[in-house]
Structure 1
Amino acid sequence: MSDRPFVHLHCHSHYSLLDGAGAIPKLVERAKEHGMNALALTDHGNLHGALEFYKTAKGAGINPIIGYEAYIAPGSRFYKSAGRMKDSSYHLTLLCQNKTGFRNLVKLASAASLEGFYFKPRIDKEILEAHSEGIICLSGCVSSELSQALLRGDASSMDDHLAKAAEVAEWFRSVFGDRYFLEIMNNGVEIQRIALEGCVDLSRKVGIPLVATSDCHYVDPQDAEAQDVMLCINTGKFRTDPSRMRMDGREYYLRSPEQMYAKFEGLEDAVARSQQIADTVDIDLELGKRHFPVYAVPDGGTPEQYLRELCVRGLLERYEGNDEMAPGGQLAQVVLDRLERELGVINKLGFPNYFLIVWDFVNEARRQGIPATARGSGVGALVCYALYLSHVCPIRYDLLFERFLDENRIEAPDIDIDFCKERRGDVIRYVKEKYGDENVAQIGTFGTLAARAAVKDVGRALGLPLARVAEITSMIPEELGIELDDAIEKSADLRKAYEADPEVGELLDLARAIEGLARNVGTHAAAVVISDRPLTEYVPLTRVSGKDDVITQWSMGDVEAAGLLKMDFLGLKTLTVMQDAIDLIRRHTPGFELDNEGFDDRATFELLNRGETTAVFQLESGGMMSL
C-alpha cells in the first residue's frame, strides 16, 4: 500500500463506450503498481464492466468498488421533453458499499435504460431515494447538479448560488446521510477550479466532507491521444474539427497517490478521505450460485423421477420396432445401462431441472410444428436423444456422453438448440410466457475494435483519404483474430508502410492503442437468459438503441458467472429450407418422416466426396469442401 493513502473513486474504462480508453486489466494493474489496495469503476450510465472488473480486481488482490456515473434527470425520469441533451440530465457518482448496494445499483442502472432513457440512460431522485441503501454518493463532476448550481453564479451573486448548492446538497444528505460527499477534481481545467473552490466554501458552510477524485478516462498520460480519437469516432467528427467535443488537457489518467496530493495542496484530508471511503466497502458477490428457474413437475414428483420417466418413454418411442435396442418392446440392457449412467451424472451434478426446462420448450416447438435440433456435444447424450432434443442415436454412432457432461465439471451443460429461423421468436415468446417476461431476456454482446475496424475508424477520425485507408487495411493478413502487432510483423508491405510513412505510422499506432476496446453494444445471436426471479435482482438490463428487445448489460460469460441459466436459441435457415422441402415431399408422399430415412444413400456420399456442398450448412466452407 502507498505511504500516502489514496484510492481512485471516479474511474472510467472502455465500457464508457468510445469515451473511456482504459482496459480493465490495465487499470487494475496500474492501481496495484501505484500501491493502492482498492479501485472504483464508474462508467457512464452502465454496468457493462462491473463483473469483469470485480473478478479482475479480486484476482489481483485489489478491493473492487463497483460504481456508476449516473445520469440523473432534473425532474421525473419519465419526462422526456427537455429539448437538448445538456438539459436532460446531470451527472452523479454512485458507489456500492456492500452487496445490498450492488443489488440496488443493478436496479438503478436497469431502470435508467428501460424507463428513463432520453439521450442518455437516466434515473431520477425518486428511484434513487428508493434504492439508496448500501450506496455511497459523491456529488459528481462539473456536470453535476451541485456543480452547476455553483458554476452559474459570478462573484456578485455567489451567496445566492451557494445557497442553491446547499439546498441540493442537503437533499442528498437527507437520503444518504454520512455516505454523501462533495466531490472535487483538478485535471488542470479552469471550470474544475471554480467548482472546487465553491465546494470548499460549501463544505465549510454545511459540514459535508470533501473527497478528491481524478475523473480518470485512460490509464497513462500517453493514452490521451488515443482517447481523443475515440471521442472523434463516437461523435463522427474529424480530429481537426475545432468545434468538436474534446477533453481539455492530458491529465485524465490514473494518477499515483503522490500526484494526487501534489494536485490538492492544502486539501490533503480530501485526498486521504478516498481511502477512508474505500475502507468501508466490502462487496462479496456469490458468483456461481445458481438462480435457475424451477420446472413445475406434475403430480408432485421429483425432477429426477420425471426426467427418468420422460427418457424411458422417449426411448421406447425412438426404438419402436428396433429389435436390437428394444426387443419385445422393452429397452435393451445396453440402452438401460447407458441411460442410468447418464442420469446418475446429471442427478449428481444437480441438473435434472435444467434438462426439464430444455425439454419443455423443445417439446412446445414440436407441438407447434417448429423444426428443432441440438448441435454440438449434447448430441452425444442419450438423454438428449430420448427427450427429442437431438435426433442421432449416440449408441449407434458411438458418441461420447463425457464430452458433453462430466461429473468433474461443475458448470452447467450447454445445449445449443437450432430452431427454424422464421419461428425462433415463437419459442422465445413461449419461454417468456411460461417463466415471466421479467425473468427472460436476450444476452448482450460487445462489438470490439478488431484490427481492421480500428484502422478504418482511426483513419476516418484523422481525415485520411478513404482509398489510402482501404489500401492499408488490405495489407492486414486475412487471419481470424489477427492483432495489429502480428500483422505488422507478418506483412512486409504493412511493415514497410508503417516504417516509411509517418502518416501511416500515426494511423497504426493509434489503431494499436484502441484495438480490442469496446465500440458498441449488440444482441447475442442466440443466447437467452432465464432466471427464477426478475432478472434485475441479479443482472443489469438495457436495450440496444433503436430496438425494443431487452438485453443484459453483461456479456455471456459474466451472465453465467452470476449463476444464471443461459440457453442458446439459434435461428437456422437450413431448418426452414428442410421443412419447406419436407412439406413439398408430403404433397406426393403423405406421412413422410425424415427421421425414418437411412443414412446410407450412395448418391449423397458421392456428392459429399466431390465437395459439391455449396449452401449445405456446416459443409460449405472452403476447408470442408477441400477435405
Structure 2
Amino acid sequence: MHLNCHTAFSLRYGVLTPEALVAKAAAWGVSTLALADANNTSCAVEFVARCRRAGIKPILGVSFWREGQWLYTGLAHNAEGWRSLCAFLSQHSLAGRALPAVPPPLPDTWIIYPRLCKPIADFGPNELLGIRPQHVNRLFSHELRHHQEKLVVLAPVVAINDEDYARHKTLRAIDLGTVHTKLTPRDLAQPGDRLLPPATLAQFYKSYPAILANTQRIIDACTAELETGLSINRQTFTGSKDGDFALLEKLALAGVTRRYPPGSRFQKARLRTERELAVIRQQDFCSYFLITHDIVRYARAAGYQHVGRGSGANSIVAFCIGISDVDPLELDLYFERFINPFRASPPDFDIDFSWDERDDVIDYVFKRYGQDHTALLATYSTFRGRAALREVAKVHGLPKEEIDELVHDPHGRAAADPKAAAVLKIAAGIIGLPNHLSIHAGGIVITEKPIHYYTAQRLMPKGFPVAHCDMYHAEDLGLHKYDVLSQRGLGHLKSAVHLIRRNQGKAVDLYDLDRIKTDERVKQMLREGRALGCFYIESPAMRALLTKLRCDNYVHLVAASSIIRPGVAQSGMMKEYIHRFHFPHSFRYLAPVFEEQLAETFGVMVYQEDVMKIVHHFAGLELDESDVLRRIMSGKKYDGDTFERLREKFFAGAQVRGHDLATAEEVWRQIESFSGYSFCKAHSASFAVESFQSLYLKAYYPLEFIVGVINNFGGFYATEFYVHEARMAGAAIHAPCINRSRYLTDLRGTDLFLGFVHVKGISEQLILRVLLERERGGGFQSLTDFCQRLEVESSQLELLIRVGAFRGTGRSKAELLWEKNAVFNPQAHWEATPELFPRSAPQQYFHLDLSPNHRTGHPLSAAQLDQAFDELELLGFPLCSPFLLVATPAAGVPLPYPGHVNRWGSPGRTKRLDAVADHGQLQLLAYFVCDKLVPTVKGERMSFGCWLDEDGHHFDTVHFPASLRQFPFAGRGVYRLAGRVTRDFGFPSLEVFTLERLPYLPDLRFT
C-alpha cells in the first residue's frame, strides 16, 4: 500500500535504485508499489518491468513538487491516466509555468494530497487525502473521521534504512548548496518515510479499516498500462505500410542506377538492394529509412552537408537513397551488422551535421512530425568518483585543505579520521546515482501516439523538448532513435567551400567521391601524413601511422582509422598490422579462411565485421547469428543460454568443416579477446570519406581550408597551430585590424586577418557594432574618429589598441594610448557626432617597423617586441616566430633572422630529423605543440611529444620514463632538446635525453 515511492530519479532527493526498491519489496512480500518520482517519469518502463518480474503489481504516478515542496501525487488508472499526468507535467515545464497548488481535472487519475489544501467537502471524485502512519491517532477527534471515503494510506518511500536516509540528507544539502546541519525539516523527507513490511504498515491503520479498504479500492482501480515494442514508433511515412515500401523501393532502385554504372557491379548492387529491401519490409523498418531519408533530404535542400555513419552505413539501401556515402560493396560490409532478426535492440542511423546547422535540422524534425510526437532523448549525469567525494565532503563541513587531502588519498585519510570515513562511506553510496538531467548528444524519438503515453517532456535551454527517458530506457520501450549529431569537421568543409567561392569564384563538388579518392595530389598528402586540420586524421599519432603505412588509398585509410583506436593499439595488433604490411611474407595465416576473408588486413581482425566474417566462414554460423555472438562478446545484453548455444554451434560447425580442435580453440580465443575492443568498419569508412574531402580541400585550396578550420574552432590542436599552418602554406598573418578584420578570421588573397573573436576579453556586441558602423559609414580614419562614431568602454578600447587594431592609423601604441585619454571621456554622455565633410578613404594596412632593436642587438625592434608580448597575452600566441622571443641560447645554436616577423626561419636553418642518420645524435630548439602521456606495461608513465622546429616543421619526440622523470614538460614555450633520432618503418622521431625550457626575453614594458 505504498502509493508514493521515490527512486533515485527523484533527483537529489531519492536514493533507491529501482532494482533495490523492488528487490526489498519482494523480499518483504509487498504486493503493490506505486512509482511517484518528483516531477520525473524517467524510470517508468524499468520500474514496471522489474515489478512484474518480481510478482508485484506496479502503479505509475508522479509526485508534483514546486520550489522544493510536495503539492500532490497523481496515480494513473490506465494508459490514458498516465498520458494525462505526463502531459500536465510537460505543459508546465515547456511553458515555464509553476505548477498550481490544485491541479485541473485530470482524466483517469487519482490525486492524493499530503495535506489539506481546501475543504475536504470540496474534493472532486478523484481527489483523496493521504494520512501518514504517525498521524492516524489524530483522527479520533478530527472532523476528517467523517470522510473516510476520501482518506487513503500515505506512506512515502524514500529510504529503507538509516544509511539510505543519511544519503538522502546529503543529497538534499548538495541540492540546496548548504551544509547538512543547516537543513530544516521542511527541506527533508520525514525520517519515517521508509519501505515497511505489509503487516507493519497495516498495523498503524488497524483502528480505521475503512482507510485500508479505500486504499485497496484505489489500488484495484489502477493498472500500469505502458505499451512497449516497435509498434510505439511512427508506423508509416506515407500513410500506409504498402505505400512506404513502394516509395522506399523506388528511391533505392533509382539510387542503384545513379550510384553504379552498368555492368556486373550494377547487377550485384541490384540483387543486394532487393535482398535488403525484403528484410527491411519483413522487419518493419520502411518508415525508419524513409524518415531518415526525409531528414537528409531537408538538409541537402538547405545546403547542409552531412555524414551518415555507424552500422547504418552497412546498408546498400542507405547508400542508394543518400543517407550514407559509404559503398558497402566496395568495402564488403554486411547488412546483418545493421539489421537482423536476432538483434535485441533497435538499429539506429548516426547522421552528422555541422555544429552550426544541426539545430535547424532538429527544428525541422519537430515541426515536420509534431511536438506532441517528437522529443530529444535525455542523458543523466551521475555522481562520479572524486567529484562526488568533494560534494559530500563540502556539505559535511570539511575545510578545503582536508577535502583536497581526502580526495588525494581517500582511504589513508579515512583510516585516521572517523568523520572522513563517514564522508567516504556516504560518497560511495551515491556514486552512480543520477545527478541531473541533460540532453543526449543528438538522439530523437518519433512516436505514433502522442509521446505523453510513454514519458513526460522538459524544456532545455536550446528550446527543444527533452523526454525524461534516456537512450537505455528508450531502448527498453522499443523506441527507434534518430541520432542527429554535430561535429566541427563538416563546418570546416562548409566554410572552406564558401571562402573558395568568394575568393576564387569556384564551386567545389565534394560529392564526386570517386575523383577525390583517386586524386594523385590527395594520395600523396595522405601518404606523407600532411593532414593537419583534416578531420579524424590530424593527430600526431594518426599522421605518424599514415606515414608508416605509406597509406594512399581509401581502403587502407579505413583500416588505419580503426587500428589506431585504443583497444586495437594497446592489444599490440596495430604494431602487428604495420609489420605485416611491410613484410607480407613474414607470417602464416591461422587458417585458409583468414587468408580468404582478411587478406585486406593481412589476417588481422580490425573490425567488428571481421568477427562476423570469421565466425560465418570458419564455422558456418549465419551472418545474423554471427552478429549476435559478436554483440554478446562485446558486453551487450542477451539471454544467458544464447551465448552457450552459439558457442556449441561454432565448434560443431568448425568440426564439420574439417578444422581440428586446437585450431578452432585458437580462433575462438582470438575472436573472444578481440570482440571487446573491435570497431565498426562502416563507422571508420564514413569518417574516411570526410577525411578525403578535407584532404582534397587542403591539397588544392589550403588557405581557404585552414581558415575554415580556424573559424569553426574545432580540431586536435590549438588555434595557434592552424594559424601557423596557414603561414606555412603562404599566408601573411595579420593581427586584428579595425578596418580589415571581421568577427571571425578573414582571408583576402593570401592576407589572413585574424578575427576579433580571438582577442581575450573583447565584447562580441562591441565588435558587431564596429562592423555595422564600418559598413554604414566606411572605415575609421583615426582613434578620435572611432570614439566619435561608437560608444565604447575604456577597457575595451585599450584591448583594441594593445592588440594592434589601430595600427593602420600610422601612430604607435604609446601615442594611441595617450590619445585615448584625450578623446575618451566616459563621464560625458556619448552622442554620435555628425559628419560635416565627407570622409576620405582610410589608410592602407600599416606594416610594422622591421628595423633591428639597436638597444639590445635583437632582430626585433622594441615596437615589435611590444606587439609580440601583447599578442601573447591577448591572443594566446605571438604572430612572429616564438624563437625570436627567447633569451639567447648557448653558443652553437643560432637563432633565425627572418626577413619578416611574419615568417619563420629560412629553409636549411635547422637540421631536420629526416636529415640525420638513424641513431644519430641531435640538439635543436623546438616550440612545444602538445604531448600525450601513456602508461607503460610496468605502470610507469612515458610521453610522446609534438613540436615545431625553427623552420616551422612538425616533428615528434619520445620521452621514456627515466627521461620524463628527470626532464618533465614545463608548459608552453621554446625548449632546447637533445636526443637520438630513431626510425620506425621510415618515420623519424627524436628519443629525448634532455630538455630545457628557455626563458622569454624580459618584457621591456615592465623593466
TM over 0.5: yes
Contact 2:173 2:183 in 1 (8 A): no
Aligned-residue identity in percent: 27
Q: Secondary structure at the match of 2:517?
A: coil
Distance in 1 between residues matched to 2:348 and 2:456, nearest whole Å: 23
| 2:541 is the counterpart of 1:611 | yes
- C-alpha deviation, 1:229, in angstroms: 0.6
Query: Which residue among 128, 136, 140 is the counterpart of 2:110?
Result: 136
Secondary structure at 1:350 match in 2 = coil
Range moving further from structure 2, 205-214 or 418-427: 205-214
Question: Which residue pairs with 2:117 in the alignment?
Answer: 145
Give the conservation status (yes or no) of the 8 Å contact 2:35–2:44: yes
The answer to whether the Cα contact below 8 Å between 1:98 and 1:284 also exists between their aligned partners in 2 is yes
Amino acid at match of 2:94: L
User: Could you tell me which of 133, 138, 149 is aligned with 1:197?
Assistant: 138
- Look up the equivalent residue of 2:110 and give its one-letter code: I
For residues 114-164 of structure 1, the C-alpha deviation after alignment (integer angstroms, 9 at most, x for no partner) is 34732xx447443xx1x232x2333x224x515xxxxxxxxxxxxxxxxxx
Q: What is the deviation of 1:569?
A: 0.4
Contact 2:35 2:62 in 1 (8 A): yes
Tell me which residue corresponds to 2:516.
597
CA distance in 1, matches of 2:182, 2:565: 45
Partners in 1 of 2:449 and 2:199 — Cα distance?
A: 47
1:21 and 2:15 are equivalent in the alignment: yes
Aligned counterparts of 1:624 and 1:403: Cα–Cα separation in 2? 20
Counterpart of 1:551 (choices 466, 471, 490) is: 466
Partner of 1:508: 424
SS in 1 for 2:37: coil
Q: Is residue 93 from structure 1 mapped to residue 73 from structure 2 by the alignment?
A: yes
Partners of 2:280 and 2:140 lie apart in 1 by 60
SS across alignment from 2:194: coil
User: Does 1:573 find its partner at 2:488?
Assistant: yes
The Cα of 1:577 is off from its aligned counterpart by 1.2
State how far apart, in whole Å, the 2-side matches of 1:277 and 1:295 are.
38
Aligned mate of 1:259, from 200, 222, 244? 200
C-alpha separation in 1, matches of 2:336 and 2:569: 29
Match of 1:114 in 2: 94
What are the superposed Cα offsets for residues 453-472 of structure 1, whole Å, 9 maximum, x if unpaired? 32121111112223433444
Shift of 1:513: 1.5
Structure 2: tracts of 5 or more residues without a match: 530-536, 547-559, 575-1007
1:195-247 deviations in whole A, cap 9, x for unaligned? x6259733433352532222221122331111111110010001232668543
1:46 to 26, 40, 43: 40
Look up the equivalent residue of 2:107 and give its one-letter code.
S
1:396-428: per-residue Cα shift (whole Å, max 9, x none)? 111111111113337532111111111001111
Pair 1:430 & 2:364 matched: yes
Q: Which amino acid aligns with 1:507?
A: V
Q: 1:65 aligns with which of 33, 54, 59?
A: 59
User: What is the TM-score when the length of structure 1 is the normalising length?
Assistant: 0.78
Displacement of 1:271 in angstroms is 4.4
The equivalent residue for 1:477 is none
Whether the aligned pair in 2 keeps the contact of 1:108 and 1:123 (CA below 8 Å) is no
Partners of 1:508 and 1:58 lie apart in 2 by 35
Q: Give the counterpart of 1:498 among 414, 426, 430.
A: 414
Equivalent position of 1:318 in the other structure: 259
Q: Does 1:356 align with 2:307?
A: no
Contact 1:68–1:95 (CA under 8 A) maintained in structure 2: yes
Q: Closer, same or farther in 2 for the Cα pair 1:123/1:558, shift >3 Å?
A: farther
Q: Tell me, in whole angstroms, the C-alpha distance in 2 between the residues paired with 1:571 and 1:499.
A: 47
Cα distance in 2 between the residues matched to 1:348 and 1:34:
46
Report deviation, 1:298: 10
CA contact (8 A) 2:315 2:334 kept: yes
When structure 1 is superposed on structure 2, of 227-236 and 452-461 the one drifting more is 452-461
State the one-letter code of the partner of 1:347: R
1:297 CA displacement: 4.1
Letter of the 1:593 counterpart = L
Alignment of 1:53-452 (within 5 A): 53-71=47-65, 85=67, 91-115=71-95, 117-118=97-98, 121-122=99-100, 124-126=102-104, 129=105, 131-133=106-108, 135-138=109-112, 140-142=113-115, 144-146=116-118, 168-172=119-123, 174-176=124-126, 180-186=127-133, 192=135, 197=138, 201-241=142-182, 246-247=187-188, 250-264=191-205, 266-267=207-208, 269-271=210-212, 273-293=214-234, 296-297=237-238, 302-320=243-261, 326-327=262-263, 332-409=266-343, 411-452=345-386
Contact 2:346 2:479 in 1 (8 A): no
Judged with a 3 Å threshold, the aligned counterparts in structure 2 of structure 1 residues 200 and 439 are, in CA distance, closer, same or farther, namely farther
Q: In the superposition, relative to structure 1, how do residues 580 and 30 fare at CA in structure 2: closer, same or farther (>3 Å)?
A: same
**Does the C-alpha gap of structure 1 residues 220 and 606 become closer, same or farther in structure 2, counting only changes over 3 Å?**
farther
Give the letter for the 2:131 counterpart. I
Q: Work out whether residues 527 and 566 of structure 1, in 8 Å CA contact, stay in contact via their aligned partners in 2.
A: yes
SS at match of 1:132: coil
Count residues in correspondence: 541
* CA distance in structure 2 between the aligned counterparts of 1:282 and 1:431, rounded to whole angstroms: 33
For residues 106 and 437 of structure 1, do their structure 2 counterparts lie closer, same or farther at Cα, with a shift above 3 Å needed? closer
SS at match of 2:439: strand
Q: Is the 8 A contact 1:182 1:208 kept in 2?
A: no
The AA in structure 1 aligned to 2:452 is T
Give the structure, 1 or 2, with the largest relative contact order (CA under 8 Å, sep 6 or more).
1
SS in 2 for 1:217: coil
Say whether residues 1:460 and 2:432 are aligned partners.
no
Kept after mapping to 1: 8 A contact 2:33/2:56: yes
- TM-score if structure 2 supplies the norm length? 0.50
Q: Distance in 1 between matches of 2:54 and 2:216?
A: 18
Give the stretch that moved more between structures: 256-265 or 359-368.
Answer: 256-265
Amino acid at match of 2:526: T
